[in-house]
Chains A and B, each alone.
Chain A
Amino acid sequence: MPNMSLKKVPMPEQDPNVRNHNFQEVSLGYTAEMAMEEATRCLNCKHKPCVGGCPVNIRIPEFIAKVAEGDFKAAYDIISDTNALPSVSGRVCPQESQCEARCVRAIKGEPVAIGRLERFVADWYRENINAMPEKPQTNGIKVAVVGSGPASLTCASDLAKHGYEVTIFEAFHTAGGVLVYGIPEFRLPKAIVQNEVDKLTALGVDLETDMVIGKTFDIDEMFEEGYEAVFIGSGAGLPMFMGIEGETLAGVYSANEYLTRINLMKAYREGYDTPLKISGSAAIIGGGNVAMDAARCAKRMGAKHVYVLYRRDEEEMPARKEEVHHAKEEGIEFMLLTNPVRVLDDGTGKVGGLECVKMRLAAPDESGRRAPKVVEGSNFNLEVDTVVMSLGTSPNPLIRSTTPGLETNKKGCLQVDEETMATSREGVYAGGDAVTGAATVILAMGAGKKAAASMHEYLTKKHSK
């Protein structure tokens, strides 16, 4: 008899007023009992709509049935069969718009907590078994993967399982892409990312860090060196600025810089050499998940007031509801329908405040979206000494400008065949934010998976000739 409770089993969390002073994980995860109880809410429906909502098509009801039985190892095997990074996706996926959005239980009440269960299973496996996968029999074919974010890790994992000799080229000193430099420790502990990377190297994937593709080494040279196919998963790491006065004053950061200093360089930890300006008050500009991450980091770095400035209203905010909720609990102050027009100089070249205007939403346009309009004469000054621009990112031009024959669109995104992820150059595939512009971790993972399948098909054909 299924558990007909309308609500998910709640997940324990650190107290908001404790956690906003530390970088430890906010959500503490299910215990085995909680997981088994939540698992019994799954109806194991025949048509399995949830699976279609998952970009990497995890066999959801199957793994949940194993959780209900208490056979967590079997549950892990089912998940890891299609998902290379379960402890990551279970934490950072927007499940409410993917698997859980299609859950039958969501018609009346809350959906099954698929993400929390996935996370529980992955964490249980890491803590109790943590067996490294065995290196599959090699087929002797070399393939290269550019970047080591979620798209690349997934692609590399699938290719390695087929027996390819995979080399990942990463520009930074640590693998993981946005998982290590962007998403903070309190949402995704870095030890967990490292464990996923370790599993990949156990599969025989060779990881070359400090390799800036297009500078140290380029794609033509990869083919000369005997790599037979290349996957580009270089992401969208180029930050946007507003183009307003005062944006180059000391104390104005892009969210990328702010988060990289904190997450990758560990500026928040004693003994690490990278500095970060400690704010009295900080304004974070933008309404996405990155803005939430930056705001919550600023609070943890000791800022008294942290404001999130967004030019539309809360309904239109692209950030996950859960992240906005967490931010509010931690004392982040939201200033909606507000836009900066000028960063003020304190007289010494540092940020002395932010001049803002109030906005209003016009009637919906043809696209159905209500455009924000300035309320004339509503200018006011906000007292802050740090401003973090979190306006979105676009693909870095480095690879497209150094690889002849790669077609891109107006926004600088690599163009691919949507079915195969093949670029305009033979043997070169791409996926993730490098193709779509800034999107989600799980979409990147889905794209990496798709690309691995078509690279396998391409190479199989090539070698059977």
Chain B
Amino acid sequence: MVKIVRKKVLNPSVTLLEVEAPLIAKKARAGQFIILRLDEQGERIPLTIADYDREKGTITIIFQKVGLTTELLADLNEGDHIQDFVGPLGLPTELPEGAKRVCVVGGGVGCAIAYPQAKTCHAEGIEVDVIAGFRSKDIVILEDEFKAVSDHCYIMTDDGSYGEQGFVTVKLKELIDSGVHYDAVIAIGPIPMMKFVSKTTEPYGIKTIVSLNPIMIDGTGMCGGCRVTVGGKMKFACVDGPDFDGHEVDFDELMNRNAVYRAQEAEEKERHACRMDQLAKEMIQ
């Protein structure tokens, strides 16, 4: 059982929670994740560790409301508890040795995961460029945080309502073509975005690290629910990753596997909505 000590609504669909988890905070490193379960009947879901404070003994998670569990999680408040909170899981991100300059590319809520990467690189004295992409102005998150840990920070919006207009890949290509040398690119966001960042860097031979987000159950390597194909080989993202070489990942397969439960997930969410309506009605009466 962990206690929520801070809640911050970052945009209408993205929430930040800071929880007390001293043992996990002591070990956590950028790139790792936790698994949580809200209550006895809950499912186990993975969320990346967005930040940690070893002294305070806290872990920060940032997540988007996409279904039943994340909706319920977003309804929790400071002082509430989460029944199960397990971690740190997975391997920490490994940059190429002696990396001097990296580009951290974040897409949407993936920026929450890109942030600790930028922070870690910056703290190690690596020159950090951040390209953060969003659909539009109203969902921009973590801009100040990114600016604090980067040398250059580019905010992109698809519709041009804030920052520069265009996809992150356009900006990335522009920077590379202008002669900026990156030792590595770290891309975190929706699967298509990671796929296209990888495609963008491939011709230049720039090491590209992506953080994969397959379906997980235990998160400790015992079921293979999170298996992905990397370089033609089967890997379990929870123990061999979640970071992998973007040039070797079969993204289409990952997208396909992530869609298995879409219909059931929609049903669950619907069921929850009905339950909430019912509760609201009862409260009015």
Interface check A196, CB cutoff 8 A: no
* B261 interface neighbour in A237, A243, A277, A398, Cβ under 8 Å: A277
> SS class of chain A's interface: helix, strand, loop or mixed?
loop
B10-39 vs A, Cβ < 8 Å mask (1 yes, 0 no): 000000000000011001000000000100
Contact B224 A275 (CB under 8 A): no
B126 at the interface (CB under 8 A from A): no
What is the 8 Å Cβ interface bit string for chain A, positions 224-247, against chain B (1 contact, 0 not)?
A: 000000000000011101010001
Contact check, A217 vs B234: say whether CB atoms are below 8 A apart: no
Chain A, residues 381-407, CB within 8 Å of chain B (1/0): the string is: 000000000000000111000000000
Contact B217 A261 (CB under 8 A): yes
A266 to B27, CA, bound (A): 31
**Contact pick for B234, options A241, A277, A396, CB 8 Å:** A241
In B49-96, the 8 Å CB interface with A consists of 68-69, 83-89
B138 within 8 A of A: no
Question: What are the residues of chain A within 8 A of B221 when measuring CB–CB?
Answer: 237-238, 396-398
Q: How far is the CA of A114 from the CA of B5 in the complex (A)?
A: 55
- Residues on B with C-beta less than 8 A from A216 are 23-24, 27, 86-88
Of the 9-residue stretches B149-157, B183-191, B196-204, B251-259, which lies at the interface with chain A?
B251-259
B42 in the interface (beta carbon within 8 A): yes
Chain A 185-219: CB-based contact to B (< 8 A → 1; otherwise 0): 00000000000000000000000011110011100
Among A210, A216, A265, max chain B CB count under 10 A is at A210
Interface segment out of the listed A27-35, A46-54, A98-106, A252-260: A252-260
Residues of A within 8 A of B250 (CB): 248
- Closest residue on chain B to residue A266 by CB atoms: B41
CA distance A352 to B253 in the complex (A): 15
A446 within 8 A of B: no
Given A277-B261, A396-B221: A212 and B87 interface contact (C-beta under 8 Å) = yes
A171 — which chain B residues lie within 8 A by C-beta?
A: 86, 218, 220
For residue B212, give the distance in angstroms from its CB to the closest CB of chain A: 13
Contact B41 A273 (CB under 8 A): yes
Near B by CB (< 8 A), chain A positions 271-311 give 271-275, 277
Which residues on the B side are within 8 Å of A173 (C-beta)? 37, 44, 83-84, 86
Chain B residues closer than 8 Å to A341, beta-carbon distance: none
The answer, yes or no, to whether B225 is at the interface (CB within 8 Å) is yes
Q: Nearest chain A CB to B83's CB is how many angstroms away?
A: 7
| Assembled-state Cα–Cα distance A273/B225 (Å) | 17
Which B residues lie within 8 Å of A398 (CB)? 220-221, 239
* Chain B 184-232 interface residues, beta-carbon cutoff 8 Å to A: 217-218, 220-225, 227-229
Are the CB atoms of A210 and B43 closer together than 8 Å?
Answer: no
Question: Which of B69, B220, B229, B259 contacts A273, CB < 8 Å?
Answer: B69
Known A-B contacts A260-B217, A275-B261, A277-B261; the reply to A210 vs B227 at CB < 8 A is no
Q: Check B223–A260 contact: CB distance below 8 A.
A: yes
- Chain B residues with Cβ below 8 Å from A260 are 217-218, 222-223
Is the C-beta of B270 less than 8 angstroms from some C-beta in chain A?
A: no
Q: Is the CB of A248 within 8 A of B257?
A: yes
Residue of B nearest to A217 (CB): B23
- Which residues from B are CB-within-8-Å of A272? 41, 43
The docked-state distance in angstroms from the alpha carbon of A212 to that of B84 is: 12
Cβ of A250 within 8 Å of any chain B Cβ, yes or no, is yes
Smallest CB–CB gap between B82 and chain A, Å? 11
Smallest CB–CB gap between A351 and chain B, Å? 10
* Of B83, B89, B218, B229, the contact of A248 (CB 8 Å cutoff): B229
Q: Which chain B residues border A277 with CB–CB below 8 Å? A: 260-261, 264
CA A251 – CA B68 in complex, angstroms? 22
Whether A275 and B268, one on each chain, are in contact in the complex, defined by CB atoms closer than 8 angstroms, is: yes
Chain A residues with CB under 8 Å of B164's CB are none
Query: How distant is the Cα of A249 from the Cα of B261 in the complex, in angstroms?
Result: 13
Q: Is the CB of A215 within 8 A of B234?
A: no
- Scan B250-284; emit 1 where CB is below 8 A from any A CB, else 0: 10010011011100110010000000000000000
State the Cβ distance, A112 to closest chain B Cβ, in Å. Answer: 38
**Complex formed: what's the CA distance from A211 to B37 in Å?**
14
Q: A248 to B220, Cβ gap below 8 A?
A: no
Assuming A216-B87, A248-B234, is B68 touching A256 (CB within 8 A)?
no
Instruction: Please give the distance in Å from B148's CB to the nearest CB on chain A.
Output: 29
Interface positions of A (Cβ within 8 A of B): 171-173, 209-212, 215-217, 237-239, 241, 243, 247-251, 253-254, 256-257, 260-261, 265-266, 271-275, 277, 348-350, 396-398
Residues of B at the A interface (CB closer than 8 Å) are 23-24, 27, 37, 41-44, 68-69, 83-89, 217-218, 220-225, 227-229, 234, 239, 250, 253, 256-257, 259-261, 264-265, 268
| Pairs A–B under 8 Å by Cβ, sample size 11 | A173-B84, A211-B23, A211-B86, A216-B88, A237-B220, A237-B221, A265-B43, A265-B217, A273-B41, A275-B264, A275-B265
